[in-house]
Amino acid sequence: MKLAYCLSPRCGKLYSYWFFLFMDKESNCESIEIIADEISEQEKAVMKTMGLPSHFSSSKKYDKSKKKQQQHGKVKKSLCKYWHQRYRLFSRFDQGIKLDKESWYSVTPEMIALHIASRCVKDDNYRVIMDPFCGVGGNIIQFASFSKNVFIIASDIDPKKVSMAKHNASIYDVSHRIAFMVGDFFNIIKTIKIHVDCIFLSPPWGGPDYLKQDNYSLSSMTPDGFNIYNAAKKYITPNIAFLLPRNIDRDDLNSLLQPGEFIEIEQNLINDKPKTVTAYFGDLAKQDLLQS
Protein backbone atom coordinates (compact mmCIF):
# COMPACT_ATOMS: atom_id res chain seq x y z
CA MET A 1 0.00 0.00 0.00
CA LYS A 2 1.35 3.41 -0.88
CA LEU A 3 0.20 6.91 0.00
CA ALA A 4 1.10 9.96 -2.04
CA TYR A 5 0.00 13.55 -1.84
CA CYS A 6 0.03 16.33 -4.35
CA LEU A 7 -0.84 19.97 -3.88
CA SER A 8 -3.18 21.71 -6.23
CA PRO A 9 -1.95 25.08 -7.53
CA ARG A 10 -5.24 26.47 -6.23
CA CYS A 11 -4.85 27.54 -2.63
CA GLY A 12 -6.78 25.60 -0.08
CA LYS A 13 -7.07 22.40 -2.05
CA LEU A 14 -5.16 19.25 -1.40
CA TYR A 15 -5.28 16.10 -3.44
CA SER A 16 -4.18 12.88 -1.91
CA TYR A 17 -3.92 9.73 -3.92
CA TRP A 18 -4.30 6.46 -2.13
CA PHE A 19 -3.11 3.34 -3.84
CA PHE A 20 -3.98 -0.26 -3.14
CA LEU A 21 -1.27 -2.34 -4.67
CA PHE A 22 -2.39 -5.82 -3.72
CA MET A 23 -3.27 -8.34 -6.37
CA ASP A 24 -6.89 -9.34 -6.72
CA LYS A 25 -7.13 -12.99 -7.65
CA GLU A 26 -10.82 -12.68 -8.39
CA SER A 27 -10.87 -9.78 -10.83
CA ASN A 28 -11.03 -11.63 -14.14
CA CYS A 29 -14.72 -12.26 -14.58
CA GLU A 30 -14.34 -13.71 -18.07
CA SER A 31 -12.56 -16.81 -16.82
CA ILE A 32 -14.93 -17.63 -14.00
CA GLU A 33 -17.10 -20.68 -14.02
CA ILE A 34 -19.39 -21.65 -11.17
CA ILE A 35 -21.05 -25.02 -11.05
CA ALA A 36 -24.04 -25.48 -8.75
CA ASP A 37 -22.56 -28.52 -7.05
CA GLU A 38 -19.58 -26.49 -5.86
CA ILE A 39 -21.50 -23.76 -4.08
CA SER A 40 -23.26 -23.88 -0.75
CA GLU A 41 -27.00 -23.44 -0.14
CA GLN A 42 -26.28 -20.06 1.45
CA GLU A 43 -24.36 -18.91 -1.62
CA LYS A 44 -27.22 -20.05 -3.82
CA ALA A 45 -29.65 -18.00 -1.74
CA VAL A 46 -27.50 -14.88 -2.10
CA MET A 47 -27.09 -15.46 -5.82
CA LYS A 48 -30.87 -15.61 -6.11
CA THR A 49 -31.15 -12.10 -4.64
CA MET A 50 -28.75 -10.95 -7.38
CA GLY A 51 -30.93 -12.46 -10.10
CA LEU A 52 -28.24 -15.05 -10.87
CA PRO A 53 -29.25 -18.61 -11.71
CA SER A 54 -27.94 -21.20 -9.27
CA HIS A 55 -25.99 -22.74 -12.15
CA PHE A 56 -24.21 -20.44 -14.52
CA SER A 57 -21.04 -20.11 -16.48
CA SER A 58 -19.39 -17.06 -17.95
CA SER A 59 -16.63 -19.00 -19.65
CA LYS A 60 -16.22 -19.41 -23.40
CA LYS A 61 -17.83 -22.85 -23.11
CA TYR A 62 -21.19 -21.10 -22.98
CA ASP A 63 -23.44 -22.08 -25.88
CA LYS A 64 -24.16 -18.84 -27.73
CA SER A 65 -26.34 -20.41 -30.39
CA LYS A 66 -29.50 -20.30 -28.26
CA LYS A 67 -31.09 -16.86 -28.07
CA LYS A 68 -32.50 -17.35 -24.58
CA GLN A 69 -29.14 -18.45 -23.27
CA GLN A 70 -27.50 -15.48 -24.95
CA GLN A 71 -29.77 -13.06 -23.11
CA HIS A 72 -29.12 -14.95 -19.92
CA GLY A 73 -25.39 -14.71 -20.60
CA LYS A 74 -25.54 -10.92 -20.69
CA VAL A 75 -27.13 -10.77 -17.25
CA LYS A 76 -24.58 -13.18 -15.83
CA LYS A 77 -21.62 -11.30 -17.15
CA SER A 78 -22.65 -7.99 -15.60
CA LEU A 79 -23.48 -9.54 -12.23
CA CYS A 80 -20.74 -12.12 -11.83
CA LYS A 81 -18.26 -9.28 -11.32
CA TYR A 82 -20.05 -8.29 -8.13
CA TRP A 83 -20.41 -11.83 -6.87
CA HIS A 84 -16.71 -12.48 -7.27
CA GLN A 85 -15.94 -9.34 -5.33
CA ARG A 86 -18.05 -10.40 -2.35
CA TYR A 87 -15.09 -10.75 0.03
CA ARG A 88 -13.86 -7.36 -1.13
CA LEU A 89 -17.17 -5.92 0.09
CA PHE A 90 -17.34 -7.91 3.35
CA SER A 91 -14.45 -10.11 4.50
CA ARG A 92 -16.93 -11.95 6.77
CA PHE A 93 -19.32 -12.51 3.86
CA ASP A 94 -19.57 -16.24 4.55
CA GLN A 95 -20.78 -15.69 8.10
CA GLY A 96 -24.20 -14.63 6.82
CA ILE A 97 -23.89 -11.07 5.45
CA LYS A 98 -27.17 -9.82 4.03
CA LEU A 99 -27.37 -7.62 0.93
CA ASP A 100 -30.24 -6.58 -1.31
CA LYS A 101 -29.78 -6.32 -5.07
CA GLU A 102 -29.08 -2.53 -5.05
CA SER A 103 -26.42 -2.85 -2.39
CA TRP A 104 -24.24 -5.10 -4.52
CA TYR A 105 -23.55 -2.03 -6.64
CA SER A 106 -23.37 0.62 -3.96
CA VAL A 107 -21.76 -0.80 -0.80
CA THR A 108 -18.27 0.63 -0.15
CA PRO A 109 -15.52 -2.01 -0.55
CA GLU A 110 -14.25 -2.94 2.91
CA MET A 111 -10.65 -1.75 2.35
CA ILE A 112 -11.89 1.69 1.29
CA ALA A 113 -14.36 1.81 4.20
CA LEU A 114 -11.53 0.91 6.58
CA HIS A 115 -9.34 3.69 5.22
CA ILE A 116 -12.15 6.27 5.51
CA ALA A 117 -12.69 5.08 9.09
CA SER A 118 -9.01 5.69 9.86
CA ARG A 119 -9.39 9.25 8.58
CA CYS A 120 -12.58 9.94 10.53
CA VAL A 121 -11.63 8.27 13.81
CA LYS A 122 -8.05 9.64 14.01
CA ASP A 123 -7.21 8.73 17.64
CA ASP A 124 -8.52 6.83 20.66
CA ASN A 125 -10.59 9.71 22.06
CA TYR A 126 -14.33 9.21 22.42
CA ARG A 127 -15.94 10.12 19.09
CA VAL A 128 -19.46 10.26 17.67
CA ILE A 129 -19.80 9.65 13.93
CA MET A 130 -23.00 9.91 11.92
CA ASP A 131 -23.75 7.97 8.71
CA PRO A 132 -27.20 9.07 7.48
CA PHE A 133 -27.11 6.99 4.23
CA CYS A 134 -25.86 3.83 5.92
CA GLY A 135 -27.34 1.32 3.45
CA VAL A 136 -26.50 -2.25 4.51
CA GLY A 137 -23.72 -1.05 6.79
CA GLY A 138 -20.36 -1.34 4.96
CA ASN A 139 -19.03 1.93 6.41
CA ILE A 140 -20.54 1.88 9.90
CA ILE A 141 -18.99 -1.53 10.53
CA GLN A 142 -15.53 -0.14 9.80
CA PHE A 143 -16.10 3.03 11.87
CA ALA A 144 -17.17 0.97 14.86
CA SER A 145 -14.44 -1.65 14.37
CA PHE A 146 -11.72 0.97 14.22
CA SER A 147 -11.94 1.98 17.88
CA LYS A 148 -13.97 0.90 20.89
CA ASN A 149 -14.40 4.58 21.74
CA VAL A 150 -16.45 5.29 18.64
CA PHE A 151 -20.22 5.59 18.80
CA ILE A 152 -22.20 5.64 15.54
CA ILE A 153 -25.54 7.14 14.62
CA ALA A 154 -26.66 5.24 11.52
CA SER A 155 -29.77 5.92 9.50
CA ASP A 156 -31.29 5.29 6.09
CA ILE A 157 -34.61 6.02 4.44
CA ASP A 158 -35.11 2.31 3.66
CA PRO A 159 -36.15 0.23 6.71
CA LYS A 160 -35.04 -3.02 5.04
CA LYS A 161 -31.53 -1.67 4.58
CA VAL A 162 -31.39 -0.54 8.23
CA SER A 163 -32.46 -3.99 9.31
CA MET A 164 -29.74 -5.60 7.14
CA ALA A 165 -27.16 -3.08 8.44
CA LYS A 166 -28.02 -4.07 12.01
CA HIS A 167 -27.70 -7.76 11.16
CA ASN A 168 -24.38 -7.22 9.33
CA ALA A 169 -22.98 -5.12 12.19
CA SER A 170 -23.79 -7.95 14.59
CA ILE A 171 -21.66 -10.31 12.46
CA TYR A 172 -18.73 -7.97 13.12
CA ASP A 173 -19.69 -7.72 16.85
CA VAL A 174 -20.15 -3.94 16.73
CA SER A 175 -23.93 -3.45 16.68
CA HIS A 176 -23.99 -2.51 20.41
CA ARG A 177 -22.14 0.73 19.61
CA ILE A 178 -24.45 1.79 16.80
CA ALA A 179 -27.80 3.57 17.15
CA PHE A 180 -30.00 2.71 14.17
CA MET A 181 -32.77 4.93 12.84
CA VAL A 182 -35.01 4.95 9.80
CA GLY A 183 -35.78 8.22 8.05
CA ASP A 184 -35.11 10.80 5.40
CA PHE A 185 -31.73 12.53 5.76
CA PHE A 186 -33.22 16.05 5.86
CA ASN A 187 -35.61 15.10 8.68
CA ILE A 188 -33.20 12.97 10.72
CA ILE A 189 -30.47 15.63 10.91
CA LYS A 190 -32.90 18.06 12.53
CA THR A 191 -33.66 15.59 15.32
CA ILE A 192 -30.03 15.04 16.43
CA LYS A 193 -29.41 16.86 19.69
CA ILE A 194 -26.07 15.38 20.78
CA HIS A 195 -22.65 16.60 19.64
CA VAL A 196 -21.47 14.80 16.51
CA ASP A 197 -17.73 14.91 15.74
CA CYS A 198 -17.97 14.03 12.09
CA ILE A 199 -20.53 13.06 9.47
CA PHE A 200 -19.95 10.62 6.65
CA LEU A 201 -22.07 11.22 3.53
CA SER A 202 -22.61 8.51 0.91
CA PRO A 203 -25.86 9.48 -0.81
CA PRO A 204 -27.24 7.75 -3.93
CA TRP A 205 -25.28 8.41 -7.11
CA GLY A 206 -28.05 7.09 -9.34
CA GLY A 207 -26.84 3.51 -9.92
CA PRO A 208 -24.04 2.49 -12.35
CA ASP A 209 -25.18 5.13 -14.91
CA TYR A 210 -23.27 7.82 -13.01
CA LEU A 211 -20.15 6.84 -15.00
CA LYS A 212 -21.76 7.93 -18.28
CA GLN A 213 -21.03 11.58 -17.44
CA ASP A 214 -17.52 12.99 -18.02
CA ASN A 215 -17.88 15.26 -15.02
CA TYR A 216 -20.46 14.08 -12.53
CA SER A 217 -22.16 17.07 -10.95
CA LEU A 218 -23.16 17.17 -7.30
CA SER A 219 -26.58 18.29 -8.50
CA SER A 220 -27.02 14.96 -10.39
CA MET A 221 -27.57 13.24 -7.07
CA THR A 222 -31.05 12.71 -5.68
CA PRO A 223 -31.28 14.37 -3.18
CA ASP A 224 -29.10 17.15 -4.61
CA GLY A 225 -25.49 16.87 -3.37
CA PHE A 226 -25.16 20.62 -2.76
CA ASN A 227 -28.24 20.55 -0.50
CA ILE A 228 -26.94 17.47 1.35
CA TYR A 229 -23.55 19.09 2.05
CA ASN A 230 -25.05 22.41 3.16
CA ALA A 231 -27.63 20.76 5.42
CA ALA A 232 -25.04 18.47 7.04
CA LYS A 233 -22.78 21.44 7.70
CA LYS A 234 -25.62 23.56 9.10
CA TYR A 235 -27.34 21.01 11.32
CA ILE A 236 -24.62 18.51 12.26
CA THR A 237 -20.95 19.51 11.79
CA PRO A 238 -18.56 21.06 9.24
CA ASN A 239 -16.33 17.98 9.68
CA ILE A 240 -17.55 16.06 6.67
CA ALA A 241 -16.29 13.06 4.71
CA PHE A 242 -18.16 12.90 1.40
CA LEU A 243 -17.94 9.67 -0.64
CA LEU A 244 -18.26 10.53 -4.32
CA PRO A 245 -18.03 9.01 -7.80
CA ARG A 246 -14.55 8.93 -9.30
CA ASN A 247 -15.70 11.28 -12.08
CA ILE A 248 -16.99 13.96 -9.67
CA ASP A 249 -16.75 17.51 -10.98
CA ARG A 250 -13.85 19.09 -9.04
CA ASP A 251 -15.23 22.61 -9.67
CA ASP A 252 -18.46 21.62 -7.90
CA LEU A 253 -16.41 20.55 -4.89
CA ASN A 254 -14.39 23.79 -4.92
CA SER A 255 -17.59 25.80 -5.01
CA LEU A 256 -18.62 24.37 -1.61
CA LEU A 257 -15.78 26.21 0.12
CA GLN A 258 -16.19 29.47 1.98
CA PRO A 259 -13.15 31.81 2.31
CA GLY A 260 -10.53 30.26 4.61
CA GLU A 261 -11.95 26.72 4.32
CA PHE A 262 -10.03 23.70 3.06
CA ILE A 263 -10.89 20.59 1.14
CA GLU A 264 -8.85 17.45 0.69
CA ILE A 265 -9.78 15.32 -2.29
CA GLU A 266 -8.65 11.74 -2.06
CA GLN A 267 -8.81 9.23 -4.86
CA ASN A 268 -9.38 5.67 -3.66
CA LEU A 269 -7.88 3.02 -5.91
CA ILE A 270 -8.03 -0.75 -5.91
CA ASN A 271 -5.48 -2.59 -8.08
CA ASP A 272 -4.43 0.80 -9.49
CA LYS A 273 -7.97 1.45 -10.70
CA PRO A 274 -9.79 4.54 -9.36
CA LYS A 275 -12.94 3.39 -7.56
CA THR A 276 -14.22 6.34 -5.58
CA VAL A 277 -13.27 9.82 -4.43
CA THR A 278 -13.54 10.93 -0.82
CA ALA A 279 -13.65 14.65 -0.10
CA TYR A 280 -12.73 15.70 3.45
CA PHE A 281 -13.86 19.02 4.92
CA GLY A 282 -13.40 20.85 8.22
CA ASP A 283 -10.94 19.25 10.64
CA LEU A 284 -10.82 16.08 8.52
CA ALA A 285 -8.88 17.85 5.72
CA LYS A 286 -5.12 17.57 6.26
CA GLN A 287 -4.22 21.28 6.33
CA ASP A 288 -0.75 20.62 7.79
CA LEU A 289 0.29 19.04 4.48
CA LEU A 290 -0.67 22.24 2.67
CA GLN A 291 1.65 24.28 4.85
CA SER A 292 4.68 21.94 4.61
Q: Which residues contact ligand ADP (rule: CB under 6 A)?
A: 102, 105-106, 132-133, 135, 156-158, 161, 184-185, 203-207, 223
* Complex with ligand ADP: residue 204 or 282, whichever CB lies closer: 204
Q: How far is the CB of 212 from ligand ADP (least distance, A)?
A: 13
Q: How far is the CB of 244 from ligand ADP (least distance, A)?
A: 10
Q: How far is the CB of 58 from ligand ADP (least distance, A)?
A: 23
* Complex with ligand ADP: residue 39 or 157, whichever CB lies closer: 157
* Complex with ligand ADP: residue 34 or 232, whichever CB lies closer: 232
* Complex with ligand ADP: residue 202 or 239, whichever CB lies closer: 202
Burial 271-287 (b: 16+ CB within 10 A, else e): eeeebbbbbbbbebbbe
Q: How far is the CB of 210 from ligand ADP (least distance, A)?
A: 7
263 neighbors 254 (Cβ within 8 angstroms): yes
* Complex with ligand ADP: residue 32 or 162, whichever CB lies closer: 162
Q: How far is the CB of 187 from ligand ADP (least distance, A)?
A: 8
